[in-house]
Structure 1
Amino acid sequence: MDENKTQPTAVPVREFLAAVEHPVRRADGFALLELMRDATGLEPVMWGPSIVGFGRYHYRGASREGDTAAVGFSPRKANLALYGLIYDPDAAKLLAGLGKYKTGVGCLYINKLSDVDLGVLDELVRRGYEYVMNELHRP
């Protein structure tokens, strides 16, 4: 069984965000940092070179097992990728009021925070974190 290659690092999160080239992604990254910190009550940790994560859970899949961030985000060049927010079965109801977004396998993609309702995003983070920690976490 393969182990998750994305592991926590000692890189300071604020240092990573300050180096984001795109000014809107950089500003949105700092705003997401505060939103997710408030929603989870946790301090962020860098996972790999580009994911800001909050919390940690252990998972086992058919071909892979390991630890990963419960929720998190990555300010990519093309968009903001948010992790752990759409696993909760009730997430679809919240997404209806979020605004402009796309989804992928386990990810929520938004172009910029001004495209979405931050109250709904906050609720997605809270519920996503609770769901991952209570329903998906397998010690």
Structure 2
Amino acid sequence: MYELKTKENDRSVVEFIENVESPTKREDAYKLLDIFTETTGYQAKMWGPSIIGFGSYHYKYPTGHEGDAPLVGFSPRKAKISLYFATGDTKREELLENFGKHTTGKACVYINKLADVDVAVLKRLIEQSVRFLQDTYPNNNTN
């Protein structure tokens, strides 16, 4: 059976951020930590070796694949900062139109630095993602 690599763990979020090489990314990570904590009301937890997640939900796909994932999160990676939001909601695309300088992957939104984006839109993206996942996976939310 497939084993998820990205699991919630007890590693220190602050210690992880302190080990980010770039001073700018480290500073942005602390700002993002505050924004995500304040917006979600959830305590930050490490997921896998490099994702800072907030809240969690349990998903189960029609294929039988299931697991746990953070409701939202971010990772200050070497190249860019990865932001993790729910992908199934069309409101995400509308919000991203006014977000600022970013690129998107299949499941992530990438930014170079926090100053490139509108923080008010970031908060709305966080709220929308949490609401969407809680509505999609009711009674499966933890933290």
TM-score if structure 1 supplies the norm length? 0.92
Q: Which runs of 4+ in 1 moved over 6 A?
A: none
Identity across matched positions, percent: 43
CA RMSD of aligned residues (A): 1.6
User: Which residue number in structure 2 is paired with residue 65 of structure 1?
Assistant: 66
Q: Secondary structure at the match of 1:78?
A: coil
- The letter of the residue matching 2:56 is R
Letter in 1 for 2:84: Y
User: Within 5 A, what are the aligned runs for 1:45-56?
Assistant: 45-56=45-56
Deviates more, 1:8-17 or 1:63-72: 63-72
Query: Counterpart of 1:9?
Result: 9
Gaps of 5+ in 1: none
Is the CA contact (8 Å cut-off) linking 1:13 and 1:52 kept in structure 2? yes
Give the alignment's TM-score, normalised by structure 2: 0.90
Deviation track 1:61-91 (CA, whole Å, cap 9, x = no partner) reads 3373210111000000000101125432211
Q: In 1, Cα distance between the equivalents of 2:87 and 2:139?
A: 18
Residue 136 of structure 2: aligned partner: 135
> Take 1:87 and 1:138, find their aligned partners in 2: how far apart are those partners?
19
What's the counterpart of residue 119 of structure 2?
Answer: 118
CA distance in 1: counterparts of 2:89 and 2:27, whole angstroms:
28
Conserved in 1, the CA contact under 8 Å of 2:84 and 2:107?
A: yes
Q: Do the aligned residues in 2 keep the contact of 1:57 with 1:132 (CA within 8 Å)?
A: yes
Work out whether residues 55 and 71 of structure 2, in 8 Å CA contact, stay in contact via their aligned partners in 1: yes
Aligned residues: 139
Q: Distance in 2 between matches of 1:27 and 1:135?
A: 33
Task: Output the amino acid matched with 2:29.
Answer: G
2-side partners of 1:95 and 1:136: how far apart? Answer: 23
Q: Offset of 1:138 from its aligned partner?
A: 7.2
Per-residue deviation, residues 10-35 of structure 1 (Å, max 9, x unmatched): 11111111111111111111111000
Deviations 1:31-67 (A, max 9, x none): 1100000110010000011000001111123373210
Cα distance change of structure 1 residues 110 and 87 upon mapping to structure 2, 3 Å threshold: farther
User: What is residue 79 of structure 2 aligned with on the other side?
Assistant: 78
Mapping for residues 95-114 of structure 1, pairs under 5 Å? 95-114=96-115
Could you tell me which runs of 5 or more consecutive residues in structure 2 were left unpaired when the two chains were aligned: none
Tell me how far apart the structure 2 counterparts of residues 76 and 137 of structure 1 sit (CA, whole Å).
31
